[in-house]
Structure 1
Amino acid sequence: MPTSNNQAALFKSLVTWLQSALREPEQFTLSYAAESSAFVRFNHAKVRQAGQVQQASVGFKLINDGRHADLDITLSGDPQTDVQRLSEGLQQLRDTLPLLPPDPYLLLNHNGWQSQNVQDHPLPDTEHVVAQIAQAAEGLDLVGFYAAGPISRGFASSCGAFGWHQANSFNFDFSLFHANGQAVKASYAGHAWSDQGFTSRFAQAREQLEHLGRPLRTLAPGQYRAYLAPAALEEIVGMLCWGGFSAQSIASKSSPLQKLYSGDQSFSPLLSLDEKVSGSLSPAFSGEGYPRSDLALIVAGQAGAQLVSSRSAAEYGLTANGADGGESPSALNMAAGTLPQSEILRQLGTGLYISNLWYLNFSDQPAARLTGMTRFATFWVENGEIQAPVSTMRFDDSAFSLLGSQLEALTAERELLLSASTYSQRATASALLPGALVSRLTLTL
């Protein structure tokens, strides 16, 4: 795989060729995506599969007289071959455009902005990581997946805009299974691998695994104090991102956070949530050709900015701020609280310690009411000490309650959670989240 500089040069050469091949009044946008990834799959704490994926592609949009057509093209890395593929794609789109109607919501960015961000953090040697994992997991039933390497994104337009982004990252997503079939699910991810950081995270999972050996406790439906670990909180916040901050959803009154934006509801003043593009894996520009900057989505419990794509900007008379077509955050950053990690169990006292939530959906979307299951390493705690694992339970509660009136504290430490999705390519979505102590969570069955 070419280096970042070589990839950028190859992308620029395609842009230069495309500019020379255009016929007035044609316009184009060209987005670039590439990765060079190491993948290692573990089962029973042993390496079962290891490999390397190198790939690059462009998303090509041709525009003429309000009409536009799109084509994805896989690149070979050879400049001559890739120009030929782009040339064939250009002809294909030219043949397609006359068959299409004009798009009333097409809103191109005519600014010739420039953006470059290369986060070249040194990644660990894969053999070193495998040795660390094997050593930590000796004697355990570990299933896991490790992915690491640089991810590159680029954008260019006929208006002179050019953006380049590369970020190195790793993500080890794993589960530890007890002989009784119970499991702990955890992850360790970031930009720079730390043996100490991994050892600490793994020790926490291993300690939870030991607790899973105790007899299961079955709870009656009701309301319980609860601590939501960062991975559990991510499930709740992730559901709210399904249209919650979307300008289109808010304008059409289908957002689960409609009451927040109308001023009828609020979250706790402890809660502040940003879309923090700077320093994240996500590029500071969208595939639509708009620069992205940090946005305050929730400010001390109150509604902040909306995510506005170019189509929403055209339809509702708003200003596009770099959101993609789905208008979902991709670099969540929740402000930390003051609860030390060492004090979580003592402050919880008696209640539930919830490591993960699963199968979430809306039970009442306009009320931001969610339902889902506890799963993996959920424990019953009494007097600040873990007593027993808890049988899988269903919860049903409003986010405005959990993260509003019932939110007691957020932890001072936060965990970086990277998307483990590898469908077609590694994802760049991330969430930096604390844990949350809530005074009441409703379990229904």
Structure 2
Amino acid sequence: MNMLHAGSPLTDKFAFDALAAAVCVADSGDERVTLSLKSEDSDFIRFNRAAVRQATHVSQGYATLAVVSGGRRIDTTLSLTGRLDVDTATLRSQRSLLMAQLADVPEDPYLLLPDAVTSSTRDETGELASPAALIDAVADAAQGLDFVGFYAGGPVVRAFADSRGQRHWHRVESFHFDWCLYHAADQAVKTAYAGTHWDADEFARRVATGAQRMVLLAQAPHRLSPGAYRAYFTPTAMVELLGTLGWSGFSVKARRTGTSSLCRLEQGDAQLHPGINLHEDTSHSIAPSFTADGFSKPSVVTLIDAGRAGGTLNSPRSAREYGLEANGANAQESPEALRLAPGTLAEADALAALDTGLYVSNLWYLNYSDRQACRMTGMTRFACFWVEGGRLVAPLSVMRFDDSFLRLFGSGLVALTDRAETITEGGTYRERQLSSLTTPGALVDGWRLTL
């Protein structure tokens, strides 16, 4: 059953088209008027001890109106009311102000806008639980557990229009649910479940798996000495490693200025395992196929091909600066739909293949300890376990790692699992996000723990 409040004008395509038709009008042939929209109609539910502590519904929309002439661009961002007449009048008034001020704006030598007039529509209806059904699912699955979690779900919209007739519409109904089963002190089992189609049985299965691991948390922690260990990273842990790689690894600006963590890979001084194939894969994600400036994104950009450096993410400004083709990258040139291709190790056999070593469920506080060497540091978090004979036997004390991604996923990679999981960005600061990361689990040798 769908949870959404039907008919919200902030997530309605016809309302946006009407707004664009009234506002995206230029005074002369030299000007370009653009309108981009970010909106959502979301339910937020917070749980503690498996009971609802806060339930909120948010309908919001923000429109960015811009006027461009030659190398001059000026813009403003406004909160929309959802009333077409009011929003139209406000944006038309702002358009007049921007046009009057445009001559005072200095020329931007790196301004680049799309030449092609393209349009696209994606309107994906999901299958989301109603708030009542979600609350019942938590009550049933987490009975007797200290379940602490945060759910966000509903439609999220990105849209773009300009005075040349360009129209892009992207509306996806999705959800993200993060929760912990709390044991004591700093001990908890953390789990996430996200997607576009809610499955109560899958949710219950994940809660039950976490509950089984809660029993192990009552045992004395297995203490490790600093050293190199065989380890299995779950997809959740892989998200932290690959997310850190995305800070600078694939940016063309960082590559050209020598600040990318993958400069050695590009220069051929290092090589990852041939099983590493990384793509910015918008076609299999919930991210829009266009940017806030109206650039269409390619379906796939190959970033690492069989362990070797591939393409880069080129923002419009970098494309202008370096004489390249823009390929739909955001201003930070960071991935929004990163996908690591799966390997051949059956996920069910991961613990047996690990045999003895570390089961790493979560990592946090990641940063670069040596960016040029692609060396990362961070901490283990939540329910990480010591494994013997392919069985989880005891929780681990919190440990810090410091290791090179190039080594770890080069000579250190043993195998990738055969199933990749998509984990969406769960941040809700100002607005829900549409970025995601899809990755299998990974079995590695020689993961270096420092303390």
TM class, shorter-length: over 0.9
Asked if 1:177 is matched to 2:182, the reply is: yes
- Match of 2:108, SS state, is coil
Q: Tell me, yes or no, if structure 1 residue 78 matches structure 2 residue 77.
A: no
1:134 paired to 2:135: no
**Residue 159 of structure 1: how far off its partner (Å):** 2.7
Which of 275, 278, 282 aligns to 2:283? It is: 278
**Partner of 1:248 in structure 2?**
253
Q: Are 2:320 and 1:314 equivalent residues in the alignment?
A: yes
For residues 166 and 22 of structure 2, the distance between their equivalents in structure 1, rounded to whole angstroms, comes to 15
1:338 aligns with 2:349: no
Match of residue 387 from structure 1: 393
Q: Deviations over 1:51-95 (max 9, x none)?
A: 111111211121123111121111111111011110232133234
Q: Which runs of 5+ in 2 are unaligned?
A: 1-5
- Runs ≥4 residues deviating over 6 A: none
CA contact 1:271–1:334 (8 Å) conserved in 2? yes
Corresponding position of 2:3: none
1:101 match:
106
- Which residue type is aligned with residue 297 of structure 2? R
Q: Which runs of 5+ in 1 are unaligned?
A: none
How far apart, in 2, do the equivalents of 1:20 and 1:330 lie?
Answer: 31
Helix, strand or coil at the partner of 2:177: strand
Contact 2:186 2:382 survives alignment (8 Å): no
Partner residue, 1:433: 439
Structure 2 counterparts to residues 222-233 of structure 1, below 5 A:
222-233=227-238
The 1:78–1:266 alpha-carbon spacing in structure 2 relative to 1, beyond 3 Å, is same
1:308, distance to aligned residue in structure 2 (A): 0.8
Matched, 1:352 2:374: no
Distance in 2 (CA, whole Å) between partners of 1:411 and 1:201 is: 19
Letter paired with 1:331: A
Q: Distance in 2 between matches of 1:277 and 1:304?
A: 17
Distance 1:302 1:156 in 2: 38
1:126-275 superposed matches below 5 A:
126-275=131-280
**Other-structure match for 1:417:** 423
Q: Is the 8 A contact 2:219 2:394 kept in 1?
A: yes
Compare 395-404 and 262-271 and name the one that shifted more: 262-271
The aligned amino acid for 2:293 is E
TM-score, normalising length: structure 1? 0.97
Alignment correspondent of 1:44: 49
Q: Please give the alpha-carbon distance, in whole angstroms, between the structure 1 residues aligned to 2:90 and 2:39.
A: 17
The whole-number CA distance in structure 2 between the counterparts of 1:118 and 1:279 is: 15
Q: Deviations over 1:20-59 (max 9, x none)?
A: 3534422122111111111100011110011111111211
**One-letter amino acid of the counterpart of residue 168, structure 1:** E
Spell out, residue by residue over 1:94-139, the C-alpha distance to the aligned partner (whole angstroms, 9 max, x if none): 3443332100001111211011111112222221121111111111
- Identity over the aligned pairs, expressed in percent? 43
Report the count of equivalent residues. Answer: 445
Deviation at 1:382, TM superposition (A): 1.4
Deviation at 1:160, TM superposition (A): 2.2
After superposition, the CA RMSD in angstroms is: 1.6
Q: Which moved more, 1:95-104 or 1:28-37?
A: 95-104
What is the aligned partner in structure 2 of residue 22 from structure 1? Answer: 27
Deviation of the 1:4 alpha carbon: 8.0
Q: Deviations over 1:157-190 (max 9, x none)?
A: 2232211111111111001111354111110111
Contact map agreement 1:4 1:166 (CA 8 A) in 2 = no
- Check whether the contact 1:111–1:159 (CA below 8 A) recurs between aligned residues: no
Structure 2 counterparts to residues 368-383 of structure 1, below 5 A: 368-383=374-389
Answer yes or no: is the 8 Å Cα contact 1:4–1:152 preserved in 2: no
Shift of 1:14: 2.1
How high is the TM-score relative to the length of structure 2? Answer: 0.95
SS in 2 for 1:178: strand
8 A contact 2:11–2:39 mirrored in 1? no
**Corresponding residue of 1:297:** 303
Shift of 1:319: 0.2
